[in-house]
Amino acid sequence: MAINTLLILVSLLVCFAVIEASLRVFYPKYQYAAESSFDRDSARIWARQANTHYERKHPDSRKPHTVYHNNIALRQHRNFTQQAIESATNLAFFGDSFTENLRLPVQYSLTEPLDYLLNKQAPGFNVLNFGVDGYGTDQSYLYYRDFRYSGDLDYVFYIFCLNDLRNIYENDLFTLNDAQELAYNNRAASPWWINILSRFHTTYLILDTVKRLQSRELGLDRRVIEQHYRQKNQEKRFHDQRADSIEPAFLKGEKTEDLENSIRIFQSLLRLWSEAVKSNGGKFYVVLLPMENEHKARSLIAGDIGVIDLYELFNDGIENYDYNDWSFKNDGHWNEAGNLLAATYLYRYMEGVLDLPAIPEDVLKRRLYTYYSSFAGWMPDEAFLEETALTTEEIRDIRSKYLNLEMDNPDN
């Protein structure tokens, strides 16, 4: 019996190893979830680790690129000292995967060309990328609140994605008490065995399969799902199934309890965040992604909070605008061109806010040509660029700033 038991255990381990290896090689759907580097956090569910690097692959070309998180855990390949932050005008971008941009090399993320354009016009700016894959309004706000230099962030931009309403429900970090005041729910840190299981692709395959089976069993109708959980009368709900209904309910104009509660918490968080930024002497903006669904959510944002609607800007500035032309073919996130377009629109917006002299379009295109030509890789099409002569010194200076950590670690 002992030998048979041992053989069964060995067989199970071998099967697990084969499945895990096959998922990693042939079906890397769960790569981001299983291989991302996170720390436990006293308030948020997870936080990025400082001074780390790992490899990612481009969704379309599958070409690998290195992702660094710097000395203060931002997804930027350059470090920021305390003096550099305290002495500069800081533009901080918070949000989820659209902000962090793990899926493309860092120099093509919207924060870097925006930083270059601002400093080219008037030196003394830092554009900081606080994006974290999977973050919603709740964790983004907590990130700002707990960042040790939050008082030095002069302009705070929160890039809103519609699934942030779902994240509020799933994370359950905040609730509204009987007086409709925002209350924080303390979360216990994940046990050690959860942290180990979270590193395996197989874990996410099992969870995904169970979720699909539950959906099939319960049906796709939200009312059936809600009825199921009411009948079960469970103290702890399985959030995934009910969370699935939040975004569709908003887009259909339905008023469900979960959606309405998430919206109230969302609006309370925005007010709290805006007031915190204002008390620190900064300005707070919500940036809507250039997609129609996010554009529809503008009505959820109170009138006294600044809104930058990229959907309107893209749609007004581009003939026959279609978001699919600005996103990866194999992934719904915006691609290099989408990030460039966002950076240029945000630069033009900040010209007015910062009272900078407006540069002519041909000068802007020459500066963009200089920036993008400094890297060996993707180049914008001619509509964005006006060719200009480059010096070796210009290229070296741009690369040494925006790829500093890579140049210091050439073997990584």
Q: pLDDT confidence of 228, banded at 50, 70, 90?
A: very low
What's the pLDDT tens digit per position in 48-93?
999 999 999 999 999 999 999 999 999 999 999 999 999 999 999 9
DSSP for 361-385 reads HHHHHHHHHHHHHTSSS----TTT-
How large is the C-alpha radius of gyration of the chain? 23
Flag the least confident range among 55-59, 162-166, 173-177, 238-242. 238-242
Please give the residue that has the higher pLDDT: either 375 or 222.
Answer: 375
Amino acid at 399: R
232 has pLDDT over 60: no
Measured CA to CA, the distance from residue 183 to residue 160 in angstroms comes to 22
Question: Which is nearest to 301 in space by CA: 171, 162, 407?
Answer: 162
Amino acid 218: pLDDT = 47
Amino acid 236: pLDDT = 34
Averaged confidence pLDDT in the chain: 88
Q: Which helix (H) or strand (E) holds 166?
A: helix 163-171
Amino acid 409: pLDDT = 72
Amino acid 58: pLDDT = 95
What's the pLDDT tens digit per position in 316-351?
999 999 999 999 999 999 999 999 999 999 999 999
DSSP for 209-278 reads HHHHHHHHHH-S-HHHHHHHHHHHT-SS--HHHHHTTHHHHHHHT---HHHHHHHHHHHHHHHHHHHHHH
235 has pLDDT over 50: no
216 has pLDDT over 60: no
Q: Which helix (H) or strand (E) holds 297?
A: none
Measured CA to CA, the distance from residue 151 to residue 229 in angstroms comes to 44
Amino acid 368: pLDDT = 96
Q: What length is written for the chain?
A: 412
Q: pLDDT confidence of 190, banded at 50, 70, 90?
A: low
The single-letter DSSP state of residue 185 is P
Measured CA to CA, the distance from residue 97 to residue 134 in angstroms comes to 6
Backbone φ and ψ of 307, nearest 5°: -125, 130
373 has pLDDT over 60: yes
Largest CA distance in the chain: 82
